[in-house]
Amino acid sequence: MTELGIARFGAYVPRLRIDRAVIAEAHKWMAPGLRGQAKGSRAFTSWDEDVITMAVEAARDALGAADASGVKAVRLASTSLPYADLLNAAIVSRAIGAPADVASSDAAGSQRAGTSALLQALKGSEPTLVIGSDNPSAKPASIQELSFGAGAAALLVSDVDIVARLVGSATVNDVFVDHFRAAGAETDYLWEERWVREQGYARIVPAAVNAALADAQLAIGDIQHFVMPSYLKGAADAVAKALKFTGSVSSGLEDGVGYAGAAHALLILAATLEAAAPGDHILLIGFGQGADALIFQVTPAIAAAKPARGVSGAMADALATDSYLRLLSFYDGIDAEWGMRSERSGKTALTEQYRSRDQMDSFNAGKCGDCGTVQFPQLQYCVRCHAPSEAFEQLSLRDTPATVLTSTADWLSFHLSPPLWVGFVEFENGARVLMEMVDIGESGIDTGTPLRMVYRIKEKDRQRGYNRYFWKSTPLIAA
């Protein structure tokens, strides 16, 4: 049987960050005790980001310059999927240009959905892109609002150029209820913290770890990196101490990201791989109604597999905000008066969306076979020489270098994060497209500024609960 391992890895963290002190300040009138835990910052999604858009960006970071043609399966793990009955992973697959015959599936229902999906892929037989993407929601003025964050990580499981080889694993299933969220509920219900620590983490995790060590024929002293996500502060250190682990407990990414639910184990793993050396052993733990324990050994191929951005790059590319109401608005925590311009239907024409899917999903422009003009959107005839579109070559613009040609900040049009920045984007291959620009700081954006394309929500149909996705442009570096 072909041995599979982690061949590539990447990550995405939303640019938007808010200091926890800002959140605590907003609640000091009724929860002054929050100030004692309001250290560092956390990431949060803009109004046009969700699990799907973050998953696409993490997958693009993992794949790098390679295309997705060799991927045979896409597995998306999350506890906050946008759709309950619409295959979220299929949308991700289309956006990254995966082939039509790719198998896609969603994994949900547990905080260890990410590690479980990864373990299943590693025990499979085909190249699989495993993505953990999550954006857990919390009640205002709760400890969880301070500790939660958002992010995604993607791992390509393959038999070629393996950078981390699975040498042992174990799973313990135990319906230990540390928290739960009923179907239809927006936030979790959490049980008493001390009980969770002593009867959950301290009892269940060591059992899984010891079984994995036995499977790998290793001792705890052979492990260099201990990776265990938790929404409880200090839980990883306590479990590592109980196991008599003396190596490095990987950062929980509390400052700059926050706890990202089912994606968090894969995010910390990706961050650990960025710093790991050949020969190192990494112990990865996923906790939730039991525990997964996976032991990897890093190979010499790690030196050539570092992603362009990765966790460290995504964390450094931050856009700070001092507005708690902005976070609350983006998470539907307030119903603001947006005026009459917001009173419009967001209904998507699903028939036209399907007909235009090749252009819209993968951002494919057409290159005229006669004169070479690159054009988006594609019409029936070339805009320059009028040659028929049957001769167009399909070129994706999603990874093509681009710069700002013109830009305008529109304060009159309805937009959930005013102002609405729009302008012409000039691509290196000659294409010019009128596009929305996102994550623009207070200093604005200048002509000639380098841009990259990001997959975002174009419009929300709040009446029917449907999101229309498309590509937007954003500065290479936040400013």
DSSP assignment of 34-56, as one string? GGGG--SEEE---TT--HHHHHH
What is the rounded distance in angstroms from the CA atom of residue 425 to the CA atom of residue 258?
33
What is the rounded distance in angstroms from the CA atom of residue 309 to the CA atom of residue 452?
13
Residue that is written with structure tokens 């681009």 in the block: 402
Statement: residue 1 has pLDDT above 70: no
H and E: helices and strands count for the chain: 13, 24
Pairing of strands 73-77, 103-107: parallel
What is the rounded distance in angstroms from the CA atom of residue 225 to the CA atom of residue 227?
6
The CATH-assigned architecture of domain 341-363+398-475 is Beta Barrel (2.40)
- What average pLDDT does the structure give for the chain? 95
Of the given ranges (32-36, 91-95, 281-285), which has the lowest mean pLDDT?
32-36
Of the given ranges (1-5, 110-114, 308-312, 315-319), which has the lowest mean pLDDT?
1-5
What is the rounded distance in angstroms from the CA atom of residue 257 to the CA atom of residue 199?
27
Predicted local distance difference test score (pLDDT) of residue 149: 97
Band (pLDDT 50/70/90 cuts) for residue 85 is very high
Three-state secondary structure call for residue 273: helix
Predicted local distance difference test score (pLDDT) of residue 340: 85
Statement: residue 180 has pLDDT above 80: yes
What is the rounded distance in angstroms from the CA atom of residue 416 to the CA atom of residue 329?
8
Average pLDDT over residues 459-477: 94
Average pLDDT over residues 385-410: 95
Predicted local distance difference test score (pLDDT) of residue 345: 84
Predicted TM-score (pTM) of this structure? 0.96
What is the rounded distance in angstroms from the CA atom of residue 88 to the CA atom of residue 100?
15
Of the given ranges (13-22, 156-165, 341-350), which has the lowest mean pLDDT?
341-350
Domain ranges of the chain: 5-330, 341-363+398-475
Three-state secondary structure call for residue 84: coil
Q: In 10 A of CB 380, how many CB atoms?
A: 8
Q: Please, are residues 120 and 246 in contact by the beta-carbon 8 Å criterion?
A: no
Q: Domain 5-330: which topology?
A: Peroxisomal Thiolase; Chain A, domain 1 (3.40.47)
pLDDT tens-place string over residues 259-313: 999 999 999 999 999 999 999 999 999 999 999 999 999 999 999 999 999 999 9
Predicted local distance difference test score (pLDDT) of residue 344: 83
Average pLDDT over residues 125-142: 96
| Contact partners, residue 108, CB within 8 Å, separation at least 6 | 77, 78, 79, 81, 262
**Closest alpha carbon to 209 in 228, 230, 185, 193:** 228
pLDDT tens-place string over residues 212-243: 999 999 999 999 999 999 999 899 999 999 99
Chain-centroid distance, C-alpha 419: 25
Average pLDDT over residues 192-217: 95
Band (pLDDT 50/70/90 cuts) for residue 342 is confident
Band (pLDDT 50/70/90 cuts) for residue 457 is very high
Predicted local distance difference test score (pLDDT) of residue 346: 86
Helices marked H in 306-383 — which ranges? 310-316, 324-330, 350-355, 357-362
Residue 216 has phi, psi (to 5 degrees) of -85, -10
Residues of the chain above pLDDT 90, percent: 91
Statement: residue 399 has pLDDT above 80: yes
Q: 448: which strand partners? A: none
pLDDT tens-place string over residues 53-84: 999 999 999 999 888 989 999 999 999 999 99
Predicted local distance difference test score (pLDDT) of residue 166: 98
Q: At 280, which amino acid appears?
A: D
Statement: residue 479 has pLDDT above 90: no
Q: Please, are residues 442 and 355 in contact by the beta-carbon 8 Å criterion?
A: no
Q: 75: which strand partners? A: 105, 130
pLDDT tens-place string over residues 419-435: 999 999 999 999 999 99
Predicted local distance difference test score (pLDDT) of residue 341: 83
